Structure 1
Amino acid sequence: MNNYKKCITLFLKRFLLVVAIYQLSRLLFYFLNLNLFDSFTTQTFLGGLLFDFTAISYLNIPFIIAHIVPGNFKYSTRYQLMLKISFYCVNLMFIATNFIDIIYYRFTGRRSTYKMITAKGMEHEVLGLIPSFLREFWYIGIIFLIISVLFWKLLPDLSKNLLTKHLTKSDYFIKFTALIISITILLIMGRGGFQKKSIKIVDGIKYGALSNTALVLNTPFTILKTIAKKDDIDNVNYYNAKELKSIYNPVISLQSDKPPTKKNVVILILESFGNENIERGQTPFLDSLITKSYYFKNAFANGKVSIDAVPSLLSSIPSLMNNSFISSSFSLNKINGLPKIFKKEGYNTSFFHGAFNGSQNFDQYAKIAGFEHYFGKNQYDGKAAFDGTWGIFDEEFLQFYATKLTSFKQPFFSSLFTISSHNPYTIPEKSKGKLPKVTTTIQESIAYTDFALREFFKTAKKQNWYNNTLFVISADHTSSGGDLDIDKTNIGKFRIPILFFDPSNPEFTGANEKNFQQIDVMPSILDYLNIKTEMVSFGKSYKSPENFVVYYLQGTYHYIQDDYYLVFANNQTIGLYNWKKDLLLKNNLMQQDKSRVREYEKFLKAYIQSFNERTTNNKLAL
């Protein structure tokens, strides 16, 4: 039995070593992203420890079996070496995901999930981005390499020269009992304790400030929790069908008494152009265009990654899942977005993205959405302008875009997604030193795209379609981090510029103070052009008296109504703030304003239920 105890002790030591490395990776996650989190508290540490034990326990159930299964075979040198190597490799692989998210979190605002890292199209991006990430964030690679070496060096071995003896039935019974107890303990730790349901991603909210949720979680946990979740949507039944329709109905009927305005429509989606980039000197062209446009001052993204923005802007489908709609099992659902609606009106439709074809599944989405033409890096035929990683530099691709638009029969509907302000923020050598003064590489690439946008409009003004075109400009999401504290709140992380520019209508200008979101773009365009249609839209027209915004991030719903902001998770409100007065969201008004909480909860629950039911039942189109 002495040898058996040594095997149990060996596993325990190895297990605790992995726990220690998870704690170290959390501290690095915190200190290397210090400006993105609130203070690291004891509650944060204890919550993190709980989630670490959960992930590590699940991952190491096979190894507890391999360590203490009854039998003298496991004492052989060869068996122990293979066991040590496999334990090391499996655990190191998942530890690596924590280190990757130290950087990736800056762009997504959430821990990575299984669907995020295995989405179709991601294989191209990973191959292109890994070299640039290693160059820019070389210190992460070095730290991980050091940790990897230390991990191997510190992994204990089983004592040598063990004396083995013949095992009796009694020995086998005792050892199998110990094995079952050990597995049971790991399973209990894996589910987070003895509560009815095992802990979920959203439970990270319970252990500290809302902005610290990702700090409490670990990436192996979020991957394991989403690896077998096919749909990523939980069915909720807050209301019966009649009640649901009376509280919230996403069917919008636009029935203008004026004839349709057959204007061309161009939607420009700007990579990472969050509100934090506006009016600080690096986007002089966009700043000037805002003064000539109908500008939504309080505009919000409906997601934190590029792949969320496209269905939001073009099909009015928000990102209310941990997995993006385009890469989810619902991506083939029937949708009736702008491409199909405009096609019925006789428009030529096209989508442009300067990256390699297949990037972010945009080409697949374009087909499903109903675009007639897709133009990616493969279709580009201008002068050589490959950025070495993603695709074609924005300046050249936008000029290519202007040329293509001129070749299209009018009226046309077209959308373009820029790429140069995406990590690794590469800009052409000829532009370096000629842009507005900036302090970071992303700011320089933002300034470059702003310049490319200026050049596009210079070319567009000379074309016969220019004055008959409505331009809509929106960021896809915010940047990796702003300079001000308000940029780091869960309001600031989603604030983006959205503007409508109609060069033929000087009266369609000014700043709109209402709450506006990406999913409001589709009904707003159609309403502005007096196009009669009935559609499913989770947004609302800019002419609507409604004043709400809804977005979602890793298990938490965020609802803005007028001057108030409500946070909803685990089927309950966890925060209510006056975001206009309380800019840093420090004063929780939940207890002082319970009637408002009830009112907002009622609407939000109906909104969630409507989205979930229509998505899972393939009813996103009438």
Structure 2
Amino acid sequence: MNLKIPKLIKIALNNTFIKNGIEILKINADVIIFFIILCIKLINYGKSISPEYFSTTVITPIIASLLLLFSFSFLLKNKKRIRYLFIIDILISALILADLVYYRYYTDIITISSIGNAKLLGGVKDAIASLVKVSDFFYLIDIIVFIPIFKIYYKKVDVKVQSLVARIITFFMIFTVGTVVEAKTFKKVSIEQPTLLTAMSDRIYLTKMIGNLNFHMVDLFNFSNTKIKNSKKLSASEENQVKSYLKSKTTKTNQFTGIGNGKNLIMIQVEALQNFVINAKINGKEITPNLNKWVNKSAYFDNYFYQVAGGNTSDAEFMSLNSLYPAQSGAAYYTYCGNTLNSLPKELNANGYYTAALHGYAEGYWNRNVMYNTEGFNDFFGQSKYDRNENVGLGLSDKSFLNQSFDELQKFKQPYFSFLITLSSHYPFNDVKGYENGMDTLDVGSYKNTLFGNYLEGIHYTDKQLGDFLDKLESSGIADNSIIVLYGDHFAIPKQNINDLYKFEGSSSSDDLAWYQYQKVPLLIHFPKDKNKGTNHTYACQMDLLPTITNMFDLKNDYMFGKDIFSTGNRKVTFRNGSFTDANVFYVSWTNTYYDIKTGSKVNETPKLKSLKENSSNELKYSDELLNHNLIKSWIKK
């Protein structure tokens, strides 16, 4: 028995299959080693940027992206192949290092737009030396070590070259496997997060889903796609059409013209604040008692629609500060961060105002670190400038954020424009730590532990913090010399959870008109000494905020698609998808259906309605042309 074992081993070693396998490993040792090393680097990078969330699921897209790159190496021979592998290793290692340094400064992933707009990135260049760690050279050490190793390998080992046919077959097989896995990865992301691949709203989250290399491929595609769209120059007549249309939208003077001259402007954008919670109760208790109090002291608009697209919160900011429509795809805060804008901060700067944006989350989120320079803010108080002493939801609690922001406001030189963005009431609304600190709880009854119930509890918490902040503005005397604007940014309850909202509202209708009628956010404009208070039922939207403010502060702005809310005359709200309403009829673009708002019934298209639809279509087109071709830059130069 014992004598037979060596014989069996000998037979096995002589087996053609094993010999061929060893030969294949020997022939492709360089590819295999580089592949393993780069897998380790990319996985280690993933753990560096997000140790608490990084999981094995991202390893699959990491491997797939490398398979696609490495498949091409099989078409090359000897020196050409090893050069290709070294180039891939050097480029990926350099990319990882750039991402690591950028992440340490901005807690985000670097993009082509941020590189292209490096002049807008502030002092990051000065900080690079302090951000690089000794351990970072781990990503480069293999390149140095491999050079002599592979020289020796090719000299000492008799490495045969596969035939061209064999190399083509190998390339095709590996490329196909990589492509199939990549396709499944991107399909999964597009289903779970439909706008994430185009909007790239959360770059770290996207990187965790598809891997670092795929993220940069998506970024390159989005950047190139935008450039191609913008490459076609507008004719003089097309440009004049846009300019003429904007002239027709110029705000006329009214009783509010100049009412804000010399006063501070405090603008608060509240995360996911929908209008249905205002003055509403659940189990006998007000959901937003503090905001309800300020509603009664302010000009309150209860038919104010959000118009965000793929950029969500950032779109709300973009429209409110510029009165320009969101990007057709993706987010304007990425796509147009290099544009020249005639924004609210710029106009106020020109009138002697100090301007500052304040938000207690990562500076790079939604590309704010770049975009706020484009918008013209003097300062941006982001996450790094706050004491992160209490978290609720995604990050710094609204309580801590607003308390610290109030302290900053007291230091600002007057007159100033402060733009504050809250965070705690962000989806999925499942963190109510504020209640543990002695705040009154909200009994949501049967909605407990549902998304809808969580939202009610979350917005109740934010309402308390907003109330405390607004009361401090009043008691300190700041409100006496300030106009305070407060509004919601976008929806809280997604369409798949809308039935709970209908149930809460006692709505018997669930058609598209009903859905749209709940896509309203509150707008409060508070004047000193509670002047001009009262509820206004005017149909308006986020595009109308800037024209309203520029009129109140007597600012020049010729490039706005909205209309002053206080102006009389025909009004129309146009949504990014082409739907619109004129307060009498609601047009739903995806079904090409008109609804009578009063009766809720469908109505046939009339010449007037067709003209309104065409007007909305043209307005969206003109806004895209203005942004895609950076027309404001050329107009200002003229």
Structure 1 runs of 4+ aligned residues shifted over 4 Å read 71-76, 78-85, 125-130, 222-228, 231-237, 239-248, 253-260, 485-490
Q: The residue matched to 1:535 in structure 2 has which SS?
A: coil
Aligned residue runs from structure 1 range 309-458, under 5 A: 309-328=316-335, 330-381=336-387, 384-387=389-392, 390-425=394-429, 427=431, 429-432=433-436, 434-438=440-444, 439=447, 440-458=453-471
Unaligned regions of 5+ residues in structure 1, if any? 1-59, 64-70, 102-110, 131-221
> Which digits, 9 at most, give the CA deviation of each residue in 1:262-288, with x for residues without a partner?
111111101111223333332221122
Tell me, in whole angstroms, the C-alpha distance in 2 between the residues paired with 1:269 and 1:357: 16
- Asked if 1:557 is matched to 2:578, the reply is yes
**1:79, CA displacement in angstroms?**
9.2
Tell me, in whole angstroms, the C-alpha distance in 1 between the residues paired with 2:563 and 2:293: 27
**1:359, CA displacement in angstroms?**
1.3
Tell me, in whole angstroms, the C-alpha distance in 1 between the residues paired with 2:333 and 2:588: 25
Match for residue 545 of structure 2?
A: 521
Match for residue 592 of structure 2?
A: 574
Tell me, in whole angstroms, the C-alpha distance in 2 between the residues paired with 1:114 and 1:547: 38
What is the aligned counterpart of 1:92 among 184, 203, 206? 184
What is the aligned counterpart of 1:512 among 530, 533, 536? 536
**1:541, CA displacement in angstroms?**
0.7
**1:567, CA displacement in angstroms?**
4.0
Does structure 1 retain, via aligned residues, the 8 Å contact 2:271–2:313? yes
Match for residue 616 of structure 1?
A: 628
Match for residue 39 of structure 1?
A: none
**1:577, CA displacement in angstroms?**
2.0
Tell me, in whole angstroms, the C-alpha distance in 2 between the residues paired with 1:341 and 1:551: 25
Q: Measured at CA, do residues 251 and 332 of structure 1 come closer, stay the same or move farther in structure 2, by a change above 3 Å?
A: farther
Corresponding pairs, count = 437
Tell me, in whole angstroms, the C-alpha distance in 1 between the residues paired with 2:431 and 2:313: 19
Q: The residue matched to 1:368 in structure 2 has which SS?
A: helix
Does structure 2 retain, via aligned residues, the 8 Å contact 1:298–1:515? yes
**1:254, CA displacement in angstroms?**
5.8
Identity fraction in percent: 21
Does structure 1 retain, via aligned residues, the 8 Å contact 2:360–2:383? yes
Q: Measured at CA, do residues 445 and 401 of structure 1 come closer, stay the same or move farther in structure 2, by a change above 3 Å?
A: same
Q: The residue matched to 2:537 in structure 1 has which SS?
A: strand
Quick check: which one's helix share is greater? 2
Tell me, in whole angstroms, the C-alpha distance in 2 between the residues paired with 1:566 and 1:443: 30
> Which digits, 9 at most, give the CA deviation of each residue in 1:271-313, with x for residues without a partner?
1112233333322211222122111121011204111111111
Match for residue 589 of structure 1?
A: 604
Does structure 1 retain, via aligned residues, the 8 Å contact 2:353–2:417? yes
- Asked if 1:230 is matched to 2:234, the reply is no
**1:493, CA displacement in angstroms?**
5.6
Does structure 1 retain, via aligned residues, the 8 Å contact 2:264–2:414? yes
**1:575, CA displacement in angstroms?**
2.5
Match for residue 559 of structure 2?
A: 536
Aligned residue runs from structure 1 range 243-258, under 5 A: 249=247, 252=250
RMSD value, Cα: 3.9
> Which digits, 9 at most, give the CA deviation of each residue in 1:324-355, with x for residues without a partner?
21111x22111111111111221111101111
Tell me, in whole angstroms, the C-alpha distance in 2 between the residues paired with 1:505 and 1:400: 25
**1:246, CA displacement in angstroms?**
6.1
Tell me, in whole angstroms, the C-alpha distance in 2 between the residues paired with 1:500 and 1:487: 32
**1:437, CA displacement in angstroms?**
2.1
Q: The residue matched to 2:483 in structure 1 has which SS?
A: strand
- Asked if 1:112 is matched to 2:117, the reply is no
Does structure 2 retain, via aligned residues, the 8 Å contact 1:115–1:227? no
Tell me, in whole angstroms, the C-alpha distance in 1 between the residues paired with 2:476 and 2:595: 48
Q: Measured at CA, do residues 487 and 504 of structure 1 come closer, stay the same or move farther in structure 2, by a change above 3 Å?
A: farther
Q: The residue matched to 2:592 in structure 1 has which SS?
A: strand
Does structure 1 retain, via aligned residues, the 8 Å contact 2:316–2:542? yes
Does structure 1 retain, via aligned residues, the 8 Å contact 2:266–2:483? yes
Does structure 1 retain, via aligned residues, the 8 Å contact 2:580–2:613? no
Task: Supply the AA of the counterpart residue of 2:225.
Answer: K
Match for residue 476 of structure 1?
A: 489
Which has the higher mean CA deviation after the structures are superposed, 318-327 or 267-276? 318-327
Q: The residue matched to 2:315 in structure 1 has which SS?
A: helix
Work out which of the two has the higher radius of gyration on C-alpha atoms and give 1 or 2: 2
**1:397, CA displacement in angstroms?**
0.5
Tell me, in whole angstroms, the C-alpha distance in 1 between the residues paired with 2:220 and 2:594: 31
Q: Measured at CA, do residues 322 and 543 of structure 1 come closer, stay the same or move farther in structure 2, by a change above 3 Å?
A: same
**1:403, CA displacement in angstroms?**
1.0
Q: Measured at CA, do residues 472 and 379 of structure 1 come closer, stay the same or move farther in structure 2, by a change above 3 Å?
A: same
Match for residue 123 of structure 1?
A: 203
TM-score by length of 1: 0.62
